[in-house]
Amino acid sequence: MRLIRYGEKGSEKPGIVDDEHVLRDLSGEIDDIAGEVLSRRGLERLAAIDPKSLPKIDPSHRLGCPVGRVGHFIAIGQNYAEHASELGNDLPSEPLVFSKAPSSISGPHDDIPIPPGSTKLDWEVELAIVIGERAFAIEESEAMDHIAGFCLCNDVSERAFQKERGGQFIKGKSAPGFGPLGPWLVTPDRVGDPQALDLWLNVNGETCQRGSTSDMIFSVKHIVAYLSDFMQLEPGDIITTGTPSGVGAGMKPPKFLKDGDIVTLGIEGLGEQRQVVTTYRKN
């Protein structure tokens, strides 16, 4: 299944994309794509519904993050060898873990506002895991049983905040608009092998990142099991799993995003995103 949430930010409704790529409304069946809906039982119930029996959605609607009520937005750093190398870092012996504020989450085509004081705004195409079942101290062999699906993520990063303001990654990863997710939450049966997906990112039409999840240092299964040793993962938690080489900070000379830039990105089977970089404006 390909699940979506559509509508104005904060008021999204649940939906599904049928095999003819038509958007269908699920709000008569569930209140949101969150909590129990993400469990194996919840997803089995949705899979039993004939999408063509559901009302069509006007495709002009805004798409939001395909997961509601995200409790924890976790990220893995330097999980591709070439990316670690381009930043001049040694390969990690264990996953490098940090958080992104859930308030950074946005839809796949929402603007990326440049936060006040930003000087080094960067991009990162990533595969994100959506947790469907509570997980604590699980084995790697159990990991897939706890995953509801996968989605595309742009782990937007402000490198000066990240590296020059006291060393805490979360500072450079958490501004509004720094977590575009979607367009879809894709269930594992439709994704196939999550370690065999091509991913890419362009800035203003210029190729910046090309890679494959086969190059991950730590696999999806390993990441989920590893994190469960330290914290209880809950349904709706999102884990973004690292980026391949080609980020702006790794270029020579470095290149960063500016007002008016257009970022496009995608992962095989998980859809595409498009964001316009804009100057931050208070509401």
Cα distance from N-terminal residue to C-terminal residue, the chain:
36
Q: Give me the percent of the chain exceeding a pLDDT of 70.
A: 100
Of 149, 10, 146, the closest CA to residue 69 belongs to: 10
Q: Considering the domain boundaries, does residue 28 fall inside one?
A: no
Point out the least confidently predicted range of 26-30, 79-83, 168-172: 79-83
Q: What is the mean pLDDT of residues 48-65?
A: 97
Which tokens in the block code for residue 196? 């065999």
CB atoms within 10 A of CB 213: 24
The domain that holds 121 is classified in CATH as 3.90.850.10
C-alpha to C-alpha distance for 280 and 276, rounded to whole angstroms? 12
Q: Considering the domain boundaries, does residue 1 fall inside one?
A: no
pLDDT at 157: 98
Q: Considering the domain boundaries, does residue 193 fall inside one?
A: yes
Q: Is the pLDDT of residue 266 over 90?
A: yes
Contact 174, 161 (CB under 8 A): no
Backbone angles phi, psi at 116, to 5 degrees: -55, 135
Q: Is the pLDDT of residue 70 over 90?
A: yes
For the chain, how many structural domains are there in total? 1
Mean of the per-residue pLDDT values for the chain?
A: 96
pLDDT at 105: 98
Residue ranges of E strands in the chain: 2-6, 13-17, 23-25, 73-77, 96-100, 105-106, 112-114, 121-122, 125-131, 147-154, 157-158, 179-180, 185-186, 198-203, 206-212, 238-240, 262-267, 271-279
Helix (H, G, I), strand (E, B) or coil at 188: helix
pLDDT at 90: 83
Q: Considering the domain boundaries, does residue 248 fall inside one?
A: yes
Helix (H, G, I), strand (E, B) or coil at 21: coil
Q: Is the pLDDT of residue 222 over 70?
A: yes
Q: Considering the domain boundaries, does residue 172 fall inside one?
A: yes
| Structural domain for 257, as ranges | 68-279
Q: Considering the domain boundaries, does residue 11 fall inside one?
A: no
Q: Is the pLDDT of residue 252 over 70?
A: yes
Q: Considering the domain boundaries, does residue 48 fall inside one?
A: no
**pLDDT tens column, 156-196:** 999 999 999 987 899 999 999 999 999 999 999 999 999 99
C-alpha to C-alpha distance for 249 and 276, rounded to whole angstroms? 19
Which pLDDT band, with edges at 50, 70 and 90, does 283 fall under? low
CB atoms within 10 A of CB 260: 10
Q: Considering the domain boundaries, does residue 57 fall inside one?
A: no
pLDDT at 111: 98
Instruction: Name the residue with higher pLDDT: 89 or 114.
Output: 114
